[in-house]
Structure 1
Amino acid sequence: MALSGPARLRVDGRFLALGDKRIFLKCVTFGPFPSDAELDPATEFPRIAASGFNAIRVYTGATQRLLDCAQENGLQVLVGIPWEWSRDFLAEPRLRAEGELRLLSFLREQGTHAALGALIVANEIPSGLVRWMGPSRVRQALEDLIDLCREEAPELPIAYSNYPSTEYLEPRNADFSAFNVYLENRESQALYLPRLQNIAGDRPILITEFGLDTIRNPEDTQASLLTGHLEECLAAGLAGTTFFAWSDRWTSRGAQMEDWAFGLTRRDKSEKPVLEALRKVLPKISTARVTAPLKDDALRISVVVCTHNGAAHLEACLRACCALDYPDFEVLVVDDGSTDQTPELTARFPEVRYLRQEHGGLSNARNYGANAATGELIAYTDDDCQPDV
């Protein structure tokens, strides 16, 4: 039986949360390791947690012992289950069926464990194979797989780890957008990471792999790039990131990787400079919402809420609007001929400007609000929405 523990990881708007507390997911990949050089979670997880991480990502499932150890150290576990997604699983239905069985079997065994943070149904289907099978058919297969797993574990966040070469493959029913991104200079990250918001829409974005090889690059360069990456993720409004990898010990499909060294620690378990650099900054990052520095002359924003008989939802909307963390803004309610309690409810918020017109529809109401606004920027929202503060 799984240990009792805190609330499960969940989606909170465009971010992630544990219970009522929004968090920034600080994750590192763990394994798979060579069979003769395994790393023990009981030894390594305390080191990972002490470095400021709050999550790990594994690729080959998770045992009860690993999940229990993660829970004891305050770590969420993002789990992948290996199956043959790098082959034409549409032409060979057996491969897809085996994947479904493996995923469902894991969820039936461990799906309710408190440390299980998310399920990743597949990872980086090769772009050439996607084109061969047909992008729309592959995306539909991924969406079907997510639906199948969601039936078994409805409260567990589920996603597919995508990568830039197949942006078009993003499943529409994933709980969050997961991307493996390897960009070796900060300027490229600053340009690309915000672009992911256009792909994700209203969902959280989690980087599920990011790292730098220290065979081909100096270890100090790795330290600089990874700490800078954290800052770029926060600036882009991402929900978290995952560093690849905890250790230079690593296998791929059973073969030990000797010519790559992405680890934060070396094969002998000693620390690279990057780990000390991350240890200085990771504990200071608790929530995903880090307000970007604003200039003294920040543009004034007018938040315009158009409503018609929306009193049932309006109070929560106005409370959220008035709590926005921004130096110069106003909130306007345009009452489009309501016959309910909209005027009386709006009067409870003296800082809100109330405007009323005869019922003329949303377009007329928005134009009325725009004409009355004093801001240099206008942000429209509906009466049943609650903007992030």
Structure 2
Amino acid sequence: MKGFSYGPFAPNSTGEPLPERAKLRADLATMQSLGGNTLRLYSEPSLQVLDDLLEFGVHAIVDIPWEKHRCFFEDWSAREAARESVARAATSIGEHPALLAISVVNEIPNDVVRFYGHVRIERFLAELSDSVKQLAPDCLTTFANYPTTEFLQPEVFDFCCFNVYLHDADRLGAYLDRLQHIAGNLPLVLSEFGLDSIREGERVQAELLAAHIRTVFEHGVAGSVIFSFTDEWFTGGRLLDQWGFGVTRADRSFKLSADAVR
């Protein structure tokens, strides 16, 4: 798996946090030229978007957003909203051939996990995964973990995802070996990795991403998602311009890192 994270963007004319269709298709063609075969999306896409991905030979890992940052076990409505969001996604897109997997959550905050304990969190994540399987039996499930909560280890998922931002190849390799032990018999995927070219420089970004890709496959990882495809990023109700994690700029011109990951 060789992937890129994508978005969120300012809402398009249909209300999706994605570019207009023509621009999205142009982005898919660019990803294809860079050897990308996987897109990580942070909200449920429309069937039209998935059809476009399939046309370009790209598959999607789709995160389902819900209120993970609050103490959701204290509020029945928050848990129910999470269940409904996951079930809705499984029903609408779970059997689409362009869907690689549904990720039932991205990075539950460490303080929330420690407050409730890992067993309770793991049971809830397993419940969300089971909901997907009940509605779309062939759909793969995962969740995006990160080093601070690496002790979360639900065993019901189809592959193990970690967001890891280690900028030293040797340290990354050593940590990947540790994650392989945590993943056990499950395939390991790095679901986010990147570097800000505004603060570190484009050449450093390119060198680091090239080293990252080599290290990932030297250590038997099933795949990696580079964060991100483009500098264009919309969050908190506004576009961020002091941000440079993309391998392309906001206008989609290539940085040095685009050739480095090709």
TM-score (norm 1): 0.63
Q: Equivalences for 1:199-238 in 2 at 5 Å?
A: 199-238=182-221
Task: Confirm or deny: 8 A CA contact 1:34 1:251 kept in the other structure.
Answer: yes
Deviation string, structure 1 residues 35-92 (Cα, Å, up to 9, x no partner): 3795332111011111101110100111111101100000011111211111111111
Note if 1:35 corresponds to 2:32.
no
Say which SS state the counterpart of residue 151 (structure 1) adopts: helix
> Which residue of the other structure, out of 172, 175, 178, is the alignment partner of 2:158?
175
- What letter corresponds to residue 32 of structure 1 in structure 2? P
Equivalent AA in structure 2 for residue 275 of structure 1: A
Q: Does residue 1:263 correspond to 2:239, yes or no?
A: no
Paired residue for 1:119, among 85, 102, 116? 102
Residues 135 and 123 from structure 1, CA distance in 2 versus in 1: closer, same or farther, beyond 3 angstroms? same
1:46 pairs, out of 15, 23, 29, with: 29
Distance of 2:130 and 2:18 partners within structure 1: 34
Shift of 1:114: 0.6
Alpha-carbon distance in 1 for matches of 2:229, 2:67: 25
What SS does the corresponding residue of 2:150 show, helix, strand or coil? helix
Q: Please say which structure displays the higher CA radius of gyration.
A: 1
Distance 2:164 2:158 in 1: 19
Q: Does the 8 Å contact 2:40/2:62 carry over to 1?
A: yes
Where has structure 1 moved over 2 Å in runs of 4 or more? Answer: 34-40, 251-260
Aligned letter for 1:26?
Answer: K
- Which structure carries more helix by proportion? 2
Q: Which residue of 2 aligns with 1:145?
A: 128
Q: CA deviation at 1:251?
A: 2.3
| Partner in structure 2 of residue 198 of structure 1 | 181
Shift of 1:253: 4.6
Gaps of 5+ in 2: none
1:110 aligns with 2:86: no
Q: Counterparts of 1:6-17 in structure 2 under 5 Å? A: none
Q: 2:147 aligns with which of 151, 164, 182?
A: 164
Q: Which AA in structure 2 matches 1:51?
A: L
Q: Is the 8 A contact 1:248 1:267 kept in 2?
A: yes
Q: Provide the aligned length of Structure 1 versus Structure 2.
A: 255
Contact 2:230 2:248 in 1 (8 A): yes
Query: Does the CA-based 8 Å contact 1:204-1:238 persist in structure 2?
Result: yes
For 1:60, the equivalent position in structure 2 comes to 43
* Root mean square deviation, CA, Å: 1.5
- Correspondence 1:328-347 to 2 at 5 A: none
**What 5-or-longer segments of structure 1 have no aligned partner?**
1-24, 280-389
Q: Distance in 2 between matches of 1:149 and 1:142?
A: 11
* Percent of aligned positions that are identical: 36
Secondary structure of 2:200's counterpart equals coil
Deviation at 1:258, TM superposition (A): 3.1
Could you tell me whether the CA contact under 8 Å between 2:132 and 2:139 is conserved in 1? no
Which structure carries more relative contact order (alpha carbon 8 Å, separation 6+)? 2
